[in-house]
Amino acid sequence: MKIYIDGNYYERNDARISVFDHGLLYGDGVFEGIRIYDGKVFRLKEHIDRLYRSAKAILLDIPAARSELEAEVLDAVRINQKANGYIRLLVTRGEGLLGIDPVSCAKPTVIIIVSDIQLYPEECYGNGIEILTAASRRVSADCLDPRIKSLNYLNNIMAKIEARRAGCLEAVMLNSSGYVTECTGDNIFIVRQCELFTPAPHHGALDGITMDVVIRIAESMDMRTHLTALTRYDLYNADECFLTGTGAEIIPVVKIDGRIIGGGTPGAVTVRLMKGFRDAIRQE
């Protein structure tokens, strides 16, 4: 494995950043997770665009043009000879003093890791998974816009720990008003009367790349989609439920907080969308 750090490549055991990097000290930075399918980077432009939007929102100047960073990502994939895998692209505030003030950070740190990822066992895609509602609430959108994909994931990590301790692989998070936002690393959809519903970003959901792909696929199948407000009641009474994310792709949910969703197996709409997503990957 060759890891890119600020223009140079290092073996995994030799890859280092400063302990004074504000990404380590404070979670001060942004990132993207990107998939590789058959040697092609999936939706690279969309991921790069979102990275720059996140960086702009936190006043972080990425030290490269978008086209240059895209080229670096493609080079990292080529150098690592990875046909199918996962890219983690990070930009931190860089090395500075111990104080929280980032004025001492002279230059951002850019890191590209090309590796493998498997979030869920393969059988979960055929059988579906059980999730629960986390007690940990999502950080309010009026405190930190959820469209910023920052390095600070402690809120999500606490919810993931809750899920694991309860024997589940994932947890759904609510905002301070009790509305559904997303899961710890994935967007969440429900199906009701063959229409799709997913929480709108202003309720606390990340504006997901895979989410957007799924919405486009659904619309091409003449399914109506709604970015709206959802409650746990809506989840419990859904005909179907599934999660979307770069790592997860599309994974069915068959039980939430002990309530069986639909018939307790992946629904017909979910299965169609899973096939449509695989087709979209092949087409790109």
DSSP 138: P
pLDDT at 282: 87
Contact 69, 62 (CB under 8 A): yes
pLDDT at 141: 85
Distance of CA 227 to the CA centre of its chain: 17
Cα–Cα distance measured from residue 271 to residue 197, given in angstroms and rounded to the nearest whole number: 16
The label of the residue with tokens 């907080």 reads 257
Residue 194 tokens, joined: 């063959």
As a 3-state breakdown, the chain gives helix, strand, coil percent values, each rounded to 5, of 35, 30, 40
pLDDT at 118: 83
pLDDT at 75: 97
Q: Which residues participate in catalysis according to the annotation?
A: 149
pLDDT digits (tens, 9 = 90+) for 49-65: 999 999 999 999 999 99
Packing angle between helix 209-220 and helix 268-283, nearest 10 degrees?
110
On the question of a common fold for 2-115 and 123-283, the answer reads no
Q: How many CB atoms lie under 10 A from the CB of residue 206?
A: 20
pLDDT at 283: 85
The CATH number assigned to the domain with range 2-115 reads 3.30.470.10
pLDDT at 119: 81
Residues of the chain with pLDDT below 50 are none
123-283 adopts what CATH topology? D-amino Acid Aminotransferase; Chain A, domain 2 (3.20.10)
pLDDT at 153: 93
pLDDT at 284: 77
Cα–Cα distance measured from residue 43 to residue 52, given in angstroms and rounded to the nearest whole number: 15
Q: Compute the Cα dihedral for 200, 203, 42, 68 and give only its sign.
A: positive
Q: Which of 257, 119, 269, 246 shows the shortest CA–CA distance to 189? A: 269
pLDDT digits (tens, 9 = 90+) for 207-227: 999 999 999 999 999 999 999
Contact 150, 25 (CB under 8 A): no
Q: How many CB atoms lie under 10 A from the CB of residue 198?
A: 24
Cα–Cα distance measured from residue 249 to residue 125, given in angstroms and rounded to the nearest whole number: 10
Residue 269 tokens, joined: 């709409």
Residue spans of the domains in the chain: they are 2-115, 123-283
